[in-house]
Amino acid sequence: MNMPFYVSPEQLMKDRADFARKGIGRGRSVVVLAYDDGIAFATENPSRALHKISEIYDRIAFAAVGKYNEFENLRVAGVRYADLRGYSYDRTDVTARGLANAYAQTLGTVFTTESKPLEVELVVAEVGATQDDDQLYRLSYDGSVADEHGFVVMGGQADQLTSRVRDGWEPGMDLAGVLRLAVRTLGAVNTDGSVAGEGQEREISAAGLEVAVLDRRRARRAFRRWQGDALARLLHGDD
């Protein structure tokens, strides 16, 4: 009689984590930055149909890297969660913190009980009345949650790109300033996945970007996409 194949729990969790990290690392990075009037999201994404940045509720947005079909299912689940909670209680009861906790439970359950973890990393953001009230939550494939402040970079060469953003970002920057920083950061990743040196970044046209903001000045629905000529003018300082 053959002995059953045995893998220790530690090795099993490590293998799942390595698998998920490799899948996430192959995706293009997403940069999220706070600015004076809200929160900006940017990623290199020429598609106009397959979004990595989306609205969840009035003042809450979602950004993701990894496998599209997996994070799209999570986005839809988040919209349903927000709609149900807002309808059952009150619209103000829908918060980024509550949504992040719900996502964390789903990601953690899949990571520990399923044979394959979700190859996704998420940011859930909520814009507040002031910059101090803004909320940024980063969720990993294993359900861990981090409360971030100011900016987040995920996917691709996230560690190296984070250092670039840290050097260039400061509180109170305007929208044009943070978007230029985001585009320079995204352009630092070459087509082969390596990271270029300072001043050697690729130029990314407005058509190759997906950009959105949560604008605290908007009365109810804070989410807005920037694209086309309006985005090009903003990036070149003409708006």
pLDDT tens digits, one per residue of 27-49? 889 999 999 999 999 999 988 88
The answer to whether residue 62 scores a pLDDT higher than 70 is: yes
- Confidence class of residue 57 from pLDDT cuts 50, 70 and 90? very high
Domains assigned to the chain: 9-15+29-236 (3.60.20.10)
The answer to whether residue 18 scores a pLDDT higher than 60 is: yes
pLDDT confidence of residue 185: 93
The answer to whether residue 152 scores a pLDDT higher than 90 is: yes
Please give the Cα distance from 222 to 100 (Å, whole number). Answer: 19
Q: What is the mean pLDDT of the chain?
A: 92
pLDDT confidence of residue 5: 72
Exposed (0-12), middle (13-18) or buried (19+): which is 187, by Cβ within 10 Å? Answer: middle
pLDDT confidence of residue 210: 96
Find tokens 């949650």 and name the residue: 145
